[in-house]
Amino acid sequence: MKKIQISPSILSADFSQLGNEIKRLEEGGADMIHVDVMDGHFVPNLTIGPPVIKALKKNSSLLFDVHLMISPVHKYIQAYSEAGADIITIHPEATNDLKLSILKIKDLKKKVGISLNPETGVNIIKEFLHQIDLVLIMSVNPGFGGQKFMPEVLEKIKELKKIQKEKNINFDIEIDGGINFENSKLAIEAGANILVSGTTIFKSNDGDIKKNIELLKLK
């Protein structure tokens, strides 16, 4: 059983204090930092790009789990790698050659993640599962924090677990969107080992990050 890790999303952080917010996450026991990059084209929101990631990475020893909700994504992979992304997760719909984009990330010696939107089935990535490090299951439609969890995506996690067993392949299963203290247990039971959370971590229990991270890890 893989160790449960928490990857807080800075989308819900105080953007006027991002450096300090990352320090708070580090002190609160975060396992990595989830950076939601949005381009206003692939998703109807616009957040941060390579210069901000580069500045934040300088002050943190944590892994940067960078979720690229941008398209076309292939030509930007290099820039996010150079900015300091440790895990680069892309959406299959955002590249016209998923195999090439996976190879590009691997050539840059970064971990490769593929993200599936709620309506996208596991089938489209089955052939790549042996090559990647992580599958990011979206439990909301990408674009905004604070949305309602979509429990139907848990079936995809169970399907991925089954494939892992049948083919004896090992990749992390990360879930992102609307995660709270109730549904985190369902996600872990289904087989997720990395939980992304923004709202619950920054807003619950008067913003007690350490407490919120611990509560999310409880099975």
Residue 67 in the binding site for ligand DX5 (CB under 6 A): yes
Q: What are phi and psi of 31, to 5 degrees?
A: -90, -25
Choosing from 31, 36, 65, 174, the residue that interacts with ligand DX5 (CB under 6 A) is: 36
Query: How do 5-8 and 32-38 pair as beta strands?
Result: unpaired
Q: Does 113 bind ligand DX5 (CB under 6 A)?
A: no
Can you tell me the distance from the alpha carbon of 188 to that of 108, in angstroms, rounded to the nearest whole number?
31
Task: Tell me the per-residue interface mask from 160 to 179 with ligand DX5, x by CB under 6 A, - otherwise.
Answer: ----------------xxxx
Task: Output 128 or 144, the one with its CB closest to ligand DX5.
Answer: 144
Q: Shortest approach of Zn ion to residue 168 CB, angstroms?
A: 28
Q: Which is nearer to ligand DX5, 191 or 198 (CB)?
A: 198
If the CB atoms of residues 63 and 127 are measured against Zn ion, the closer one turns out to be 63
Which pairs count as long-range contacts for 136-140, CB under 8 Å and 24+ apart, including other chains? 136/67, 136/89, 136/174, 136/175, 136/176, 136/196, 137/173, 137/174, 137/175, 137/176, 137/192, 138/176, 138/177, 139/175, 139/176, 139/177, 139/178, 139/179, 139/183, 139/187, 140/176, 140/177, 140/178
Q: Any catalytic annotation for residue 36?
A: yes
Residue 14 designated active-site: no
Choice between 21 and 36, CB closer to Zn ion: 36
| Site for ligand DX5 contains 142 (CB under 6 A) | yes
Q: Helices 154-167 & 183-190, crossing angle to 10 degrees?
A: 20
* Of the candidate residues 98, 145, 154, 172, the single one contacting ligand DX5 (CB under 6 A): 145
Q: Under the rule (CB under 6 A), what is the footprint of ligand DX5?
A: 9, 11-12, 34, 36, 67, 69, 140, 142-147, 176-179, 196-200
